[in-house]
Chains A and B, each alone.
Chain A
Amino acid sequence: MSRNFSAFAIICFVFAGFTAGLIRPADAALFHPKTHDLANGMQVVVIEDHRAPVIAHMVWYKVGAADEPPGKSGIAHFLEHLMFKGTPTVPSGEFSKIVARNGGRDNAFTSYDYTGYFQNVAQDKLELVMRMEADRMVNLELTEKDIKTERDVVLEERRSRTDNDPAAQMREAMNAALYLGHPYGIPVIGWNHEIEALNHRDALAFYRRYYAPNNAILVVAGDVKAEAVFTLAEKYFGPLQRADTPPRVRPQEPPHRAARRIAFNDARVSQASWQRKYLAPTRTAGDSKHAIPLSLFADMLGGGTTSRLYRELVVKQKLAAGAGAYYNSTGLDLGGFMLYATPSPGVKLADLEEAMDKVVAEVLKDGFAEKDLERSRTGLLAAAIYARDNMFTSPRIFGDALTSGLTVEEVETWTDRVREVTMAHVMAAGRSVVNIRSSVTGLLLPEGEAGK
C-alpha cells in the first residue's frame, strides 16, 4: 500500500539512456519544465501537460534513510508514515480521507536520498492539496497512540517486505557487506531492533530538522499553468520559515581492498540465484564522467535478450535461465553496478559464476561492436520518449534527480549526454567499475545445498 520505499525502481528504467536518429538535437529537451524559487529556499518545478484534466502534486524532501542519526535506522520511513497523522486543522488520519473525498489518490515513499509525498487529483483540487501539504510541513502533531500503532504497522511492513522473503534478506546482507562506512549499507526501512525502539522524540527531532521549505522541492505536473502554481506556492509555502537544516554530509567509503562473499542458505529458498554488486559512481558521486557511459555498458552487457550475458549464458551455454546487468546512474553518493544470474536446473552456482566472470573478462578485453552501442543508445533515447507518455512519470524523474544533486538543466540535457558517448567512454567506464576488490558476491541457496 503506500507509504513505501520503492520509488527508485520506477525511476531507473527511464534514465536508462537515449539515441541519434530518433530525436533531433533541436527538440532534445525532454519535459520543458518551468521553475521558480521561493524566498525561503523552496524550489518549484512545473511540467505542463494538458492531455487529461488531472495533476500530480508532489513534495520531495532532501532527506532519506542515509541521513538518519546512528542507531535510529528507519526513522525517515517511520516519519513518512506519521506524516499521515494530524495537524491542528486536519484531524489525525483524515489527510488521505480528505484527498479521497475529493476524488484524489495520495501516497508517499522513502528512499536513501529522499522522502516524497504525492496527491494525484483533478486539476481544480490543486489548491486544496497544496494547502494541506504546506500545513503538514510545519504543523504535524503526534500522539503516543499514533506512534505505537504506526510502529506496529511499520514492523508488519518489514515482515512483509524482508523478514518473510529470503531474497530480500540477501539484498540486505549484500548492501551491509558492500558499504564499509556509508549508510547505504543500512536498509531503508531500518533494522528491526532499531525500529522497535523509535519513539515520539526521535520522530519530532527528525521532522523539525529536515522538514522545511529550504529542504523541499515542489513538483507539479499536469493540466495547469506554471504561473498559477507559482502563485499558489507563494501563498501556501512562501510564508513558511526556513529551518537550520544541516548539510548532507554522510560517512564516505574508505578504499575497498578485500572482495566480499556471502552465501545464504535458507529452507524457504527453492530456486538458487547469484548476484554481484560493485561499488560504482553516479552522475554526482565518484568519477561521475563514467556514469552515463556505464548506463550504456550495463545495457550492452546485460540489458535484455540481445545483451552479451543473455546470449552467452542463457542462449549459447544454457547455464542460466536468466542473466543480466543493472545500473542506476542517479544517487547522491556511490551506488552499485549489479550482475545477476539464475542457474538452469541442475547447474551449480560455481560453474555459473565462472562462466559469468569469463564473459565479463572477454568484454573488457575485446569490447563491443559499434552497432551494439547504437542499438543501446536507441533504446535509451526511446525510453525518454516513452517516459513522456505517462503524465505522472516526469514529476518522479525531476524529484529523484533534484534530491540526488542533479539540476533541472542536467535532466533536460540528458539525451545530449547520451548522444555524445563513444565506445572509448563506455569501455573506460566498464573497466573502472569491474573491480572484484570493491564488490560483494552473493549466493542464495536452498537449505543444505552448496554453491559448488
Chain B
Amino acid sequence: MIRIPYLKILCLTFAFMLPLSAQATKVQEVRSPGGITAWLVSEPKIPLLSVSFSFLGGGSLDLPERKGTGNMVSGLLDEGAGPYNSLAFQTKLEELAVRMSFSAGRDSFSGSLRTLTTNRDAAFELLRLALNEPHFEAEAVERIRRQILTGLIAARENPNAIAGRLWFKTAFADHPYGLPNKGSTETVKAITADDMRGFLGKALARDRLTIGVVGDITAAELGPLLDRTFGALPASTDIETPAQVSMQGGGTLKVVEKPIPQSQVIFGSMGLARSDPDWYAAYVLNYVLGGGGFTSRLTEEVREKRGLAYSVYSYLYPMDYTAIYMGGVGTQNTRVAEALAVIKAEIARTRDNGLTAEELANAKTYLNGSFPLRLTASGRIARLLLAIQRENLGIDYMDRRAGLINAVTLEDIARVAKRLLQPDNLLVVVVGKPDGLMGDKADKK
C-alpha cells in the first residue's frame, strides 16, 4: 500500500520506454494547424481515448498567504463552465461517460480526460469550457472549500501526513516546497474567486503546455481538437519562478510524539537532478538499495532478515528547483532505533562498497525488462508521454533508454554512491512514541 504513492512518483519522474515490438511505441509528434504540439500513440483497438496534459508551474505559483489556490482551482474547473452551471456540467460528464480531472502539483498544473470514441468531440468541448470559461460560482467555491478544509483537518492527525509536512517544512522552510501544496486551514479560508482567476490567468499558458494522447484517434483528427481546446489560452504569461533551493536540516532527527503503536519514519537527503549525467547510475543504485520492492537491500535487511517492518523503501525525487533522495519505514515503537540503525548501516555499506557485478546485472535486467509493464493502459502511456516531453528526453527516448541503463558501470555506481548516499547527513522525522530516540529538537504537537 505504501508503495502506491511511490510508484506514482516514479511514473511521473522516469517515464521512458523500451523498444516495444508493436504499435505501443509508435509515438508521433502532432502539430496542430494553430501550432500546438502533442505526442500521440494511436491505438484503435479499444474505442476510447486518454489525454494527459500539464502546464509547468503549479502550486509554486500560489501566494504564500493564499497557499492552496492551485489545488482549489483544480477542484473547481468542472464545477460550472460556459453555458453550464455546476450540476449541468457534472450531469453532462456523466451522460457522456467522460472522466475529467485536474490536479495541482508542486511544479505543474495537470489534467486528464478519458472518453469513449463516440463522445470525443463533446468531451474536448467540455475540457475547453473547463479551461477557458470556468464560473467559480459562489456555491461551488464554498462547497469545494468545505471539502478541502475537512480533508486538511482529517490529515492533522495522520502520522504519515504529519511526518511529510514536518520533513518538507524543515528541509525547505519558506521556499514554496516547504509549504503543503494544499495549504493550511488559514490560507484556504482566505482564498477568493479572484485569487483563483488570477492563478488560472498565470498558470495556463501555451508555451508551458505539454500534451500526451493515447487511443482511438489519428493525428489528422487530433490537430483541430487541440486548437479548439487549448488555442484560446494565452501564448505565454509572466510568472515568477521560485529560486533553486538546497535541502536544510541534514543530520538531524525530529520526533513528533503521537499515541500510536507503530512509528512512521521518513528520511531524506539531497538527490540528483533528472538532467544529471549520473542520473542512470543513481537510478540503478537506488533500485538495488531501496527501490526494488521485495528484492532491495533494505527490504532484505529490515523485513526479510529481522521482521522489523512491512514496508521499507527509498526513491529519487527530482523536482524543478531541487532534488532529494527520500525513504521511509514503519516500525513498532520499541524497535525504531534498531530499524534506523540497520537502515543507516546498509546505506553506509552501499556507499563504501558499491554494488556487486551480479546486483548490477540483475538491476539492469529488471529495469529494462519491466518497462513494458507500464504500457498496459492508455492513461498510463499518456502520462509517460507527458513525462518524456517534460524532461526533454526526445521522441526516440524509448529506443535509447535500455542503452542508457546498460551503459552504467560499477565505477559509475561507486562514484554516484559516494555522492548520493549520506547516512550521517539524513534529515529524519519520526512520528509515534519511539523508545530510546531523542529528537534533536522535539516537536510536540
Interface residues of A (CB under 8 A from B): 1-2, 4, 6, 22, 50-54, 84, 93, 96-97, 100-106, 120-122, 148-157, 159-161, 163-164, 267-271, 304-306, 311, 314-315, 318, 321-322, 342-345, 375, 378-379, 381-382, 385-386, 388-393
Q: What are 10 A-B residue pairs whose CB atoms fall within 8 Å in the complex?
A: A1-B2, A4-B1, A96-B294, A150-B307, A153-B307, A270-B153, A270-B155, A322-B150, A345-B146, A379-B94
List which B146-171 residues lie within 8 A (CB) of chain A. 146-147, 149-150, 153-157, 159
Q: Is the CB of A100 within 8 A of B295?
A: yes
Contact mask B387-418 → A, CB, 8 Å, 1/0?
Answer: 00000000000000000000000000000000
Would you give the shortest CB distance from B419 to chain A, in whole angstroms? Answer: 26
Other-chain residue from A100, A155, A159, A389 in contact with B294 (beta carbon distance below 8 A): A100
Q: Is the CB of B146 within 8 A of A54?
A: no
Q: Is the CB of B293 within 8 A of A378?
A: no
Q: Is the CB of A271 within 8 A of B150?
A: yes
Task: Give Cα distance in the complex from A92 to B372, angstroms.
Answer: 28
Would you give the shortest CB distance from A283 to chain B, in whole angstroms? Answer: 23
Would you give the shortest CB distance from A361 to chain B, in whole angstroms? Answer: 23
Binds A, one of B19-27, B52-60, B66-74, B276-284: B19-27
Q: A315 with B259: in contact, given A103-B365, A390-B376 (CB under 8 Å)? A: no
Q: A156 with B375: in contact, given A52-B20, A103-B365, A164-B262 (CB under 8 Å)? A: no
Other-chain residue from A53, A318, A381 in contact with B20 (beta carbon distance below 8 A): A53
Number of interface residues of B (CB under 8 A): 77
Q: Which residue of A lies closest to B303 (CB)?
A: A153
Binds A, one of B41-49, B125-133, B204-212, B342-350: B41-49
Q: Does B135 contact A (CB under 8 A)?
A: no
Would you give the shortest CB distance from A148 to chain B, in whole angstroms? Answer: 7
Q: Is the CB of A50 within 8 A of B378?
A: no
Q: Is the CB of B294 within 8 A of A149?
A: no
Q: Which residue of B lies closest to A159 (CB)?
A: B262
Q: A386 with B94: in contact, given A84-B294, A306-B87 (CB under 8 Å)? A: no
Task: Give Cα distance in the complex from A212 to B148, angstroms.
Answer: 49
Q: Is the CB of B376 within 8 A of A54?
A: yes
Q: Which residue of A lies closest to B145 (CB)?
A: A321
Would you give the shortest CB distance from A355 to chain B, in whole angstroms? Answer: 15
Q: Is the CB of A306 within 8 A of B94?
A: yes
Other-chain residue from A103, A153, A389 in contact with B310 (beta carbon distance below 8 A): A153
Which chain A residues border B114 with CB–CB below 8 Å? 386
Which chain B residues border A322 with CB–CB below 8 Å? 147, 150
User: Closest 7 CB pairs between A and B?
Assistant: A103-B369, A152-B307, A382-B97, A159-B262, A271-B154, A390-B377, A96-B294
Would you give the shortest CB distance from A408 to chain B, in whole angstroms? Answer: 21
Q: Is the CB of A159 within 8 A of B330?
A: yes
Contact mask B229-261 → A, CB, 8 Å, 1/0?
Answer: 000000000000000000000000000001111
Q: A305 with B293: in contact, given A4-B1, A52-B20 (CB under 8 Å)? A: no
Contact mask B352-374 → A, CB, 8 Å, 1/0?
Answer: 00000000001001101110110
Q: Is the CB of B303 within 8 A of A318?
A: no
Which chain A residues border B422 with CB–CB below 8 Å? none
Q: Which residue of A lies closest to B150 (CB)?
A: A321
Q: Is the CB of B116 within 8 A of A22?
A: yes
Contact mask B294-305 → A, CB, 8 Å, 1/0?
Answer: 110001100111
Which chain B residues border A1 with CB–CB below 8 Å? 1-3, 293-294, 299, 310-311, 313
Which chain B residues border A270 with CB–CB below 8 Å? 153-157
Q: Is the CB of A148 within 8 A of B366?
A: no
Q: Does B191 contact A (CB under 8 A)?
A: no
Task: Give Cα distance in the complex from A120 to B46, angstroms.
Answer: 21
List which B319-339 residues lie within 8 A (CB) of chain A. 330-332
